[in-house]
Homo-oligomer: A and B are copies of this chain.
Amino acid sequence: MAYPKSERSAAQIVAAATRVLATKGYARTSLLDIAREAGMSKGALHYHFPSKEALVSKVLESALDKFASRTLEAWARAGDPMLGLRSAVEELWVLRRNRTDEVAVVADLLAQSLYDPALRPQIAAYYRAGAEQVNTTLVPLLAALGLRTRVAPQLIPRLLVGLLDGLVMQHFVDDTAIDTEELLKGIDAIAIALFEPVPPP
């Protein structure tokens, strides 16, 4: 039931769309731009995706996927759970600060989603998956180390991801403003502040 050629073309289009959206932003990107970047005709885009919105939605999904998987990898690379957290946060920051296409697309579509509800579920899913991940992976390990979170555990990834998202916006606007060294120190302090020793019974 798989049509490999079709799938390949669709993937090609999503990749091209990611590049163009990252460069010009949603509001300034036309299907013609994307078609040219993909080396296909406008008609082909509509053959594979019913509308611009549908295509953009797929782009967002794919960008968030890459995001999540790279974070997970960084997390897994470090053996220790606290180090893993730091390592994941650092990876996220580097990922964003470098302004890969995925980062730019996500930032832009995040804003679009304020007005286009069709984009929201995917982002919400991404946030939720992050919260889930912390809940199932980090918390038990912390407990074993005699630590617990100072706030509801599902808030942890939200706070950290939110912090990074906000900072990256500032970085885009004024990239002389933030010194990474210093920033990581601040994030460290913050991350540590979110945990406390379990009081003895």
Name A residues whose Cβ lies closer than 8 Å to a Cβ of B: 24-28, 104, 107-108, 110-116, 120, 123-124, 127-128, 150-152, 155, 158-159, 161-167, 169-170, 172-174, 177-179, 182-183, 185-186, 189-190, 192-194
Looking at chain A's contact residues, the main secondary structure is: helix
Extra pairs beyond A123-B173, A151-B189, A166-B169 (18, CB < 8 Å): A24-B115, A27-B112, A113-B172, A114-B172, A124-B173, A127-B174, A151-B182, A151-B183, A152-B179, A152-B182, A155-B179, A155-B183, A158-B170, A161-B170, A162-B163, A163-B163, A164-B166, A193-B193
Q: How often does this chain occur in the complex, in copies?
A: 4
Whether the Cβ atoms of A186 and B173 lie closer than 8 Å is no
CB contacts (< 8 Å) of A112 on chain B: these are: 25, 27, 111
